[in-house]
A = this chain, B = another copy of it.
């Protein structure tokens, strides 16, 4: 039995079961209001519409069979059409590859694009699922901080000027997890220019782009260059259980991903692919459905931020509620969010300490607050509990 092999130990060191998951287990107690999750609201998922789509899909036995590794052709076609509208150029079906959620897109791309030791630039604070993948691929990871306008592209430029040569720059440009911020349009353009000038790939990881509250997210980074690989999924607008994500990339990248997908798991589910096709092509229904989610999340996000600002005033700084699923909040008085957590749990509220997302900086005074699964009075009560905890521990 060789589970102690050096190679496996190396892989698993980069794949520690994340602090978030362990925390989620602690916060499942019903008396705790959890802002620690990172899940969309199941109550807003279209169960009846999916049941109808399943019934319709199952009239064709082909949806029960193995399908092609790049995905069910009808789904690739509708994703190509939507991507064309989003990116502003005609995206051929050959540039669309359906994956088992966008996490699989990330992990297959890491295998395709990265040699061990290759440099990957990530955002700090970072999406933990991306860090896991890049660490498992043996990449060297350099973090570039976020500010209110997203990735500090000027800091990336300094790295490039200093001779760093990334293979990949990973960005959650819209409504960042955990940072809550959105990359400014001018920075998107500049990031794409740098990718072309220096020959690196940008992975534009966009699970939250549709979840804008007042105005749509800016044009994607991919609209500025074919050197940008876009990732997204239906997990946040339809349902995670469809396990439908995708990447939009040059055909040579898609072909390499296809060979790896065959070995990894052969193919996706034609059934959930066809259900997704049905829902995405029912455009009037889809627009109304996504509007409902936007309205609900927007109301919740604004309630959370209003409660934070009313309750803590200058003592907490938090991001504006513009979209996505998270608010990032900082104690300006130096309160340590990690050490506060046990007191907060006693007071009946949970969050994820910023340190869980830190690559270089520790983010000791920060918290990620998820507003998707609580109504407004509950979010307000959560903030009151947080205030009691912060007062107790002060």
Chain A interface: which size bin?
35 or more
Q: Say yes or no for A136: interface residue by CB 8 A criterion.
A: yes
**Contact between B54 and A51, CB atoms less than 8 A apart:** yes
Q: Which residues of B contact A136 (CB under 8 A)?
A: 260, 263
Q: How far is the CB of A215 from chain B (nearest CB, A)?
A: 28
Residues of B within 8 A of A271 (CB): 50, 239, 241-242, 272
Instruction: Return the contact of A115 from the options B5, B58, B239, B256 (Cβ within 8 A).
Output: B5
- A241-B48 in contact (CB<8A): no
Which residues of chain B are near A67, meaning CB under 8 Å?
A: 241
Q: Would B62 and A42 count as touching, CB distance under 8 A?
A: yes
Q: Are B240 and A265 in contact (CB under 8 A)?
A: no
A287 at the interface (CB under 8 A from B): no
Are A39 and B17 also in contact (CB < 8 A) when A101-B266, A115-B7 are?
no
Picked from B1, B42, B51, the residue with its CB within 8 Å of the CB of A65 is B42
The answer, yes or no, to whether A358 is at the interface (CB within 8 Å) is: no
Given contact pairs A64-B241, A65-B241, A265-B107, A256 touches B129 in the complex (Cβ within 8 A): no
Q: Provide 15 A-B residue pairs closer than 8 Å at the C-beta atoms, listed in order of the A residue.
A: A1-B199, A2-B115, A7-B115, A8-B256, A15-B260, A21-B262, A45-B64, A51-B55, A65-B240, A65-B241, A107-B264, A241-B271, A243-B265, A264-B264, A269-B272
Given contacts A50-B58, A269-B272, 12 further A-B contacts (CB under 8 A): A2-B167, A12-B259, A17-B262, A39-B66, A40-B65, A43-B61, A45-B61, A51-B55, A64-B239, A132-B262, A132-B263, A136-B263
Binding site for B on A (CB under 8 A): 1-3, 5-8, 11-12, 15-18, 21, 39-40, 42-43, 45, 47-48, 50-51, 54-55, 58-59, 61-67, 99-101, 103-104, 107, 111-113, 115-116, 118, 129, 132-133, 136, 167, 199, 201, 227, 235, 239-243, 252-253, 256, 258-260, 262-266, 268-272
